[in-house]
Amino acid sequence: MTGALVLYFAIVCPSLMLGQTQSVSVPSTSNTRPCGTFSDHLIYKSAANLSEYPQAHLLVDLMSSRYRDLLWVADGYRLTNMPLVAYDGKSLFQPAPGDDPGLYYLIPAVSRVFRLGLERSIDLVLVSALLLGFAVGFSGCLYALKSTAGKAVSLFALLLLTAIAYRTGDVYVFEFATTVALVPWVLYLIRCKDGAHWTFQVSICMFGLICGICSLIRFGSVLPVIAILAILLPLSVRARAGRKVALIVLFFVSFLIPRAYLRHLLTRSDAFVHQSVAGYRQADTRHVFGHFAYEGLGFLSNPYIPGGICDEVAKEKVQAIAPGAAYMSSEYDHILQREVLSIAKQHPTIVAFTIFAKLGIIAGLIAVFANVGLFAALCYPKSPQVEFAFWTAFAISSAPLVLMAPLPMYCLGVISLAVVYGIVSLDHCLVARKLTRLNPIQPQRIDDHAPVFVK
For residue 93, what pLDDT is reported?
A: 87
List the domain range (segments joined by +) for residue 179.
Answer: 2-453
> What contacts 272, CB < 8 A, 6 or more positions away?
80, 82, 85
Q: Could you give the C-alpha distances from 294 to 63, 69, 318, 408, in angstroms and in order?
A: 22, 25, 11, 19
Residues facing 92 on adjacent strands: 87
- In the predicted structure, residue 100 carries a pLDDT above the cut 80: yes
For residue 19, what pLDDT is reported?
A: 37
Give me the percent of the chain exceeding a pLDDT of 70.
80
DSSP state of 22: T
pLDDT, tens digit (0-9, with 9 covering 90-100), for 385-415: 999 999 999 999 999 999 988 988 899 999 9
Phi-psi region of 85 (alpha: psi -120 to 50; beta: other; left: phi over 0): beta
For residue 282, what pLDDT is reported?
A: 62
Tell me the backbone φ, ψ of residue 43, rounded to 5 degrees. -85, 105
- In the predicted structure, residue 26 carries a pLDDT above the cut 50: no
The answer to whether residues 305 and 298 touch, using CB atoms and an 8 Å cutoff, is yes
pLDDT, tens digit (0-9, with 9 covering 90-100), for 246-293: 999 999 999 999 999 999 999 999 889 888 887 776 655 556 788 888
Q: Which of 18-27, 327-336, 368-377 has the lowest mean pLDDT?
A: 18-27
More confident residue, 273 or 157: 157
| Average pLDDT rounded to a whole number, residues 106-134 | 95
Q: Which of 41-45, 263-267, 379-383, 421-425 has the lowest mean pLDDT?
A: 41-45
Phi-psi region of 115 (alpha: psi -120 to 50; beta: other; left: phi over 0): left
Tell me the C-alpha distance between 64 and 224, whole Å. Answer: 28
The answer to whether residues 372 and 5 touch, using CB atoms and an 8 Å cutoff, is no
pLDDT tier for residue 207 given thresholds of 50, 70 and 90: very high
Nearest Cα to Cα of residue 219 among 276, 160, 251, 174: 174
Tell me the C-alpha distance between 296 and 405, whole Å. Answer: 6
Other C-beta atoms closer than 10 Å to the C-beta of 166 total 18
For residue 15, what pLDDT is reported?
A: 38
Residue type, 77: Y
Number of domain units in the chain: 1
